[in-house]
Amino acid sequence: MMDRFHGKRISVARSGWYDLGMVSNEMPHAGIILPQPTRARFVTLSFICSMAFVLYLDRVCISQALKPMKEEFELTNTQTSLVLMAFTLAYGLFEIPTGSWGDRFGSRRVLTRIVLWWSAFTALTGCVWKFTYELDFGLFPLTISSLGLLIAVRFLFGAGEAGAVPNAARIIKLWFPLSERGRTQGWFQAAMHVGGTVAPVVAAWIIDSQAGWRGAFLLFGLVGVVWAAS
């Protein structure tokens, strides 16, 4: 629904309130009735908060898995830092592109796909095996190893997670009035950090069980798939 107010456009969000952020400070015309916010926005809040929980659950899982991974792959501290850096680098590089996808295709659709993406690469982290291949190209020998595969998987994992926060912020802007956005952001941020708090405890318990560190990544990846399917 669109209307005109002092020559500027007024939009009605799906949550049932007028977004007057781009309109002048003058009071709207007496003939315009602003509908009350509906409770649908609280369902939306639970949607993005549960996603934030899974976001940090998958992200922090590796903190408990590093020790057994270093032992199995015989990684040095420098090599381990490259694996961790791959996620951060991709996360920074893809923030803007994946955030813009929400403007183009809609945040709900984009979030579903990127959660499936990062969940797949969370699970694939646990599927990397120990190997080394030596390829002889004369003057340019090439070594392909589990280290390179780990770096690639974690890079792609970071690329997937990058779009989560920008698209969640877009949803908050569309569904919540100005008077509630600060509190809504607080709930969203709290859910992320609760996920980050729970992840090490749960991951440590899974790793100490028969599932091991690989099972932890597989189970955490499955959580994201369940979220996307809901």
Domains with residue ranges and CATH for the chain: 1-38 (no CATH), 40-229 (1.20.1250.20)
Average pLDDT of the chain, as a whole number: 85
Q: What is the pLDDT of residues 10-20, one digit of tens each?
A: 344 444 444 44
Q: Measured between alpha carbons, how far is residue 61 from residues 67, 104, 126, 141 in Å?
A: 12, 32, 11, 35
- In this model, does residue 173 exceed pLDDT 70? yes
Instruction: Compute the average pLDDT of residues 134-145.
Output: 79
Looking at residue 143, what is its pLDDT?
A: 82
Higher model confidence: residue 6 or residue 160? Answer: 160
pLDDT tier, 24 (very low <50, low <70, confident <90, very high otherwise): very low
- In this model, does residue 29 exceed pLDDT 60? no
Tell me the pTM: 0.81
Structure tokens of 164? 């989560």
pLDDT tier, 75 (very low <50, low <70, confident <90, very high otherwise): very high
Looking at residue 189, what is its pLDDT?
A: 94
Instruction: Compute the average pLDDT of residues 109-122.
Output: 95
pLDDT tier, 142 (very low <50, low <70, confident <90, very high otherwise): confident
Q: What share of the chain has pLDDT > 90, as a percent? A: 73
Q: Residue 82: is it exposed, middle or buried by C-beta count within 10 angstroms (0-12/13-18/19+)?
A: middle
Instruction: Compute the average pLDDT of residues 21-28.
Output: 43
Amino acid present at 211: A
Looking at residue 144, what is its pLDDT?
A: 86
pLDDT tier, 136 (very low <50, low <70, confident <90, very high otherwise): confident
- In this model, does residue 2 exceed pLDDT 60? no
Looking at residue 25, what is its pLDDT?
A: 43
Q: Measured between alpha carbons, how far is residue 115 from residues 69, 86, 206 in Å?
A: 24, 18, 22
Looking at residue 23, what is its pLDDT?
A: 40
- In this model, does residue 107 exceed pLDDT 80? yes
What element of type H or E holds 181? helix 178-208
pLDDT tier, 34 (very low <50, low <70, confident <90, very high otherwise): low
Amino acid present at 54: V
3-state DSSP call for residue 133?
A: strand
Residue with tokens 């926060």: 165
Cα–Cα distance for residue pair 26/200, rounded to 1 Å? 52
Looking at residue 16, what is its pLDDT?
A: 46
